[in-house]
Amino acid sequence: MSSNLAPIKFVPRRSGERGHADHGWLKTFHTFSFAMYQSNEHSQFGSLRVINEDRVAPGTGFGTHSHREFEIFSYIVAGELEHKDSMGNTEILKRGDIQLTSAGKGISHSEKAHGPKEVHFLQIWSLPSIRGLTPKYFTRHFSDEEKKDAFVRVVAPVDAEGVIASREGAGPAPVQSPLTLFATLLSPSKSVTHTFERRKSYIHVVQTSGYQPPHTNTGGAVKILEGGTKGGEEVVLREGDGAYMLGESGKELVIENLGDKVAEILLFDLE
């Protein structure tokens, strides 16, 4: 099926080209326009509006602030994140946890580093399909073993088959957007395949080897290419890099780990 469809188009988004701010207590990269970083070329991609890769120093964090009409989720890479919100939720999030807030009509929350270590997490926002929803809160946990050399569906639309809209539990966190998020921990020399469910995808290689200021860009490397083709386009991504991908439902994407370290990869399939 894949060979009869138009080739996948890859547009790399290099780590050093992302928005960046170092506030001392916060070191952050912005894939899309956010705060002081504004870019007409990189304002959103389909329903995906924000990917911030944040490192927050111990004893610091984001004080209470408000949101509305966004689906907001946090993917914890390392350390612990303390979440408190106006719905009465208080939780300490750890590696492998995903916390999703459907802000709807409006919520207030705070996010702070908990414990003696820096917290490294990705804050992701998407645009809801329906406005004016009642705010809701969800948490999920996915172990490293589950994600080893396989894509795990960690976020999926609330109306998708098998998605349970309970505060906690198994399965992907339910999002009110046409967006599915997959995660994997890809071992050296291993590869995984993703079949496009929609027309757009975005891939991000997490900076797991440590904070890298713009344009240093070391760490692990992966290669992305279309499955089942010879002589097609190939793109190499290092930690912090991402890529926009335009394809069609049924197209196959292959991701191969070229380095000697485990690569933590997020892949968004979206409209």
Which residue, among 116, 117, 83, 112, has the nearest Cα to 100 in the 3D structure? 83
Confidence of residue 2 (pLDDT cuts 50, 70, 90): very low
Share of the chain above pLDDT 70, in %: 98
Sorted by where each starts, the structural domains of the chain and their CATH numbers stand as 2-270 (2.60.120.10)
Confidence of residue 3 (pLDDT cuts 50, 70, 90): low
For residue 188, is pLDDT > 90? yes
Tell me the per-residue pLDDT of 64-114, one tens digit each, with 9 for 90 and over. 999 999 999 999 999 999 999 999 999 999 999 999 999 999 999 999 999
Mean pLDDT on 205-214: 94
Please give the Cα distance from 259 to 220 (Å, whole number).
5
pLDDT reported for residue 160: 79
Rounded to whole angstroms, the maximal C-alpha distance in the chain is 55
Tell me the per-residue pLDDT of 233-244, one tens digit each, with 9 for 90 and over. 899 999 999 999
Q: What is the 3-state secondary structure of the chain?
A: CHHHCCCCEEEEECHHHCEEEECCCEEEEECCCECCECCCCCCCECCEEEEEEEEECCCCEEEEEEECCCEEEEEEEECCEEEEECCCCEEEECCCEEEEEECCCCEEEEEEECCCCCEEEEEEEECCCCCCCCCEEEEEECCHHHHECCCEEEEEECCCCCCCCCCCCCCCEEECCCEEEEEEEECCCCEEEEECCCCEEEEEECCCCCCCCCCCCCCCEEEEEECCCCCCCEEEEECCCEEEEECCCCCEEEEEECCCCCEEEEEEEEC
Distances (CA, A) of 128 to 56, 71, 91: 27, 6, 24
